[in-house]
Structure 1
């Protein structure tokens, strides 16, 4: 009888203690970037942006607002006024994940391509304006393309990744080096096996009747892996956001 009473006593204490647990305040993780991160329309499936998988790693206190879009660079994202509504709605404690480079490199496209000084200035703008709203900017280098030559994965991002790292270091911004992380993983898989991460589709697919061989955009499995690499970076940086990750 005494043991039963003790069990009831401790259960009651636990219940009381739980009633005093303060729930985590809800925050938003805003994501800005290009097609490698973006949400996709059904007509593009199985192409999947890694931002589509990112939210699955977090508890219910986190809202993911993926504002990344196909074909955008830092320049076009700003010039098309896509940054403005994010800044207007950004709350203290929110995060902004910033990953550009794939389209900034296209200097032959005046409305999209940026010079390195322009790219740097645009990243600085995102960072400083986020901080003005008491948000937390996180810079990410662009993810690798599947660009093997003679069995060796080559870098296609040039100084754009380096510039992202430079800005992060100069302004003391948390940096997730997605280029280095993805290069290591893709290179480890090798030329042939790494195709499973990218949007390689056999002919006869409803969205790709003639098939598709895409070395930039991801398959669902690839998007999930890249999102996982970003989460790995969050843990390494010991961001407060890490406390909102699902266990296991």
Structure 2
């Protein structure tokens, strides 16, 4: 179990994790809701940013910014993959076999150099149902690359790909729509033409995934318990 004293959970990731502005509501990152499920003396510092990959996050100095703020015993949760897949964009693309794990190692090395506790997270699933109500893996080799690296480096693994797959399949193709930004024209002020987004969470979806993430962190001993909102 982790020490019960106060520490900070730093989040490094993409739009599925990031704090989202009011003008895209109800689009919400799961990291935006995580504070509701962690003990009150544990701070969440969400540095995730929309559109970033493991490569571009570092190149923009965002990991350096975390390291300037971090203290020993703080925790760094690292979740990339969605934008690492963008082969058409060399500023973001990483190969899942070589470059992606190499970039993730840089996060691990940086965290360890500051006495932090790193956690590798597989990317959350997109809502990509195949016939029969099962989800197909839209992230290709990226989740397995994270799992392999976590095993090699002896780093705790938060397997959000597996956990969100189970969640979506349990709800099914129709009920799972509520976890994402879906609307008919005129239903949402920020989406007057409607929306059908199977990547980004609604506030409801972000809350559910944040709860799942907190439960996973408690299972790993990073959190002493999961706080349940009243």
- Normalised to the residue count of structure 1, the TM-score between the two structures is 0.87
Deviation at 1:67, TM superposition (A): 0.5
Tell me the residue number matched to 2:191. 208
Unmatched 5+ stretches in structure 2 = none
User: Which of residues 70, 74, 80 in structure 2 aligns to 1:100?
Assistant: 80
In structure 1, how many angstroms separate the alpha carbons of the residues matched to 2:45 and 2:221?
22
Aligned position for 1:147: 128
C-alpha distance after superposition, 1:196-247 (max 9, x if no partner):
11111232121100010000000111101111111121122223x225x436
Tell me what 2:164 maps to. 182
Structure with greater helix percent: 1
Structural mapping, 1:1-248, within 5 Å: 25-116=5-96, 117-150=98-131, 151-204=133-186, 205-239=188-222, 241-243=223-225, 245-246=226-227
Cα RMSD (Å) of the superposition?
1.5
Post-superposition offset of 1:25: 3.7
Question: Matched residues in 1 for 2:51 and 2:18: separation?
Answer: 10
Q: Deviations over 1:101-142 (max 9, x none)?
A: 011011111111111211101111101110111000011100
SS of corresponding position for 2:196: strand
Determine the C-alpha separation between the residues in 1 that align with 2:148 and 2:109: 15
In the TM superposition, residue 59 of structure 1 has moved relative to its aligned partner by 2.4
- Is 2:77–2:118's contact at 8 Å kept on the other side of the alignment? yes
Across the two proteins, how many residue pairs are aligned to each other? Answer: 224
User: Aligned with 1:96: secondary structure?
Assistant: strand
Q: In 2, distance between residues paired with 1:84 and 1:132?
A: 12
> What is the CA–CA distance in structure 2 between the aligned matches of 1:149 and 1:246, rounded to whole Å?
35
Moved over 4 A (4+): none
Shift of 1:88: 1.4
Which whole-Å CA distance do the structure 2 matches of 1:83 and 1:173 have between them? 18
TM-score under structure 2 normalisation? Answer: 0.93
Which string of whole-angstrom CA distances, capped at 9 and with x for unpartnered residues, describes residues 49-88 of structure 1? Answer: 0011100112221111101011100010011111111111
Matched residue SS, 2:224? helix
Equivalent-residue separation in structure 1 for 2:224 and 2:194 (angstroms): 39
Q: Which runs of 5+ in 1 are unaligned?
A: 1-23
Whole-angstrom CA distance in 2 between matches of 1:242 and 1:218: 27
Larger Rg: 1
SS in 1 for 2:10: strand
